[in-house]
Amino acid sequence: MIRWLTEAVPRGRVAAFRTLIYLFVAADLVVFTPWVRTRASVPGELYHPLLVGRVLPLPTPTPTLVAVIFWALLLLALLAATGRAPRLLGWAVCGLYLEWMIIAMSYGKVDHDRFGLLVALAVLPTAGRARHGDTTRTEAGGWALRVTQIAVICTYFLAAWAKLRFGGLDWLTGSVLARAIIRRGTDLADLIAQVPYLLIVAQFGIVAFELLSPVVFLLPARWRLAMVGFFYSFHVVTVATITISFAPHLAAMTSFLPLERVRPLVWARRLIGRGPSEAATTDAPEPRPADVDPVPADQDPVADGAERTLDDQAPVVGRPAGP
């Protein structure tokens, strides 16, 4: 079990995953959850912190507190994406983002798609230093990726457990997807909803897929990637039908992928370095031997001199070598 949890991975994979996660945190602040800043204008009595916010305890959000967290987290996440000071910057980003999520989810709604991302932020500082393209393997980095993978799969499995625990079998045969389509469905969802019993079949399929998601750890590497590809396709359909993206979950799920093969900076350098003149030089065909005009040996001073030198050094057959 310990060997499985700490299976070594290339340091380049850890570096790529770290960069992706911290860049996503920065994007999350300005693209996916900018509405958290509006919590500062909500009356304090409506703030009911989550359990972790009550245990610590954390202060009631104010305009100053929210603004400081936003700008500090944005700056530190961008710095952490460079891979420098992985422990110091990593722990700082983890703490600030946790507080950002507590503020976001303490007003009556908790999103379960943040679990894998929060676990990734908590374990990345333990992975140590890692450089892009480094092929040496690290068990600490492997543990960080494995724990994130477990959190991603727990998100699926526990979601199915919650559906059956609170909704029972009625969740499978009810109108859950129909209500979601009415609230935020797309034109594609409207077409699907017209097919009799298709939404009921989809609800059975969703629960089955979530309950069977731990099977991904039992598959060979090639089939594991195929199953992760199915996970992503499921979320593509979800976005296309009911416009729910699960973006933080998708970012954490890249822990399954061989990210060390994706090196956009190297590709960009190669593209920039290969200018028109260089391309013309490298693409021009080399002249064939027949296209080169040979120079006669009697007209080539270098060849003639070389032959005379060799003749001078060669012993004459039949003559003794001594005086």
CA angle 69-248-268, nearest 5°?
A: 95
Lowest mean pLDDT among 26-35, 51-60, 97-106, 278-287: 278-287
Whether the predicted pLDDT of 317 surpasses 70: no
Mean pLDDT along residues 65-75? 96
| pLDDT tens sequence across 251-275 | 999 999 999 988 777 777 788 876 5
Handedness of CA 264, 7, 26, 19 (dihedral sign): negative
Q: Which pair of structure tokens corresponds to residue 32?
A: 């996916």
Q: What pTM did the predictor assign? A: 0.80
What confidence score (pLDDT) does residue 302 get?
43
10 Å CB burial of residue 152 (0-12, 13-18, 19+) is buried
C-alpha distances in Å from residue 113, one per residue of 75, 116, 165: 24, 7, 19
The dihedral region occupied by 197, where left means phi > 0, alpha psi between -120 and 50, and beta the remainder, is: left
Mean pLDDT along residues 172-195? 93
Q: What percent of the chain has pLDDT over 90?
A: 67
What confidence score (pLDDT) does residue 275 get?
52
| pLDDT tens sequence across 114-159 | 999 999 999 999 999 999 989 999 999 999 999 999 999 999 999 9
What confidence score (pLDDT) does residue 110 get?
86
Mean pLDDT along residues 45-71? 90
Helix 11-27 with 86-104: angle, nearest 10 deg: 40
Lowest mean pLDDT among 164-168, 248-252, 265-269, 280-284: 280-284
What confidence score (pLDDT) does residue 43 get?
85
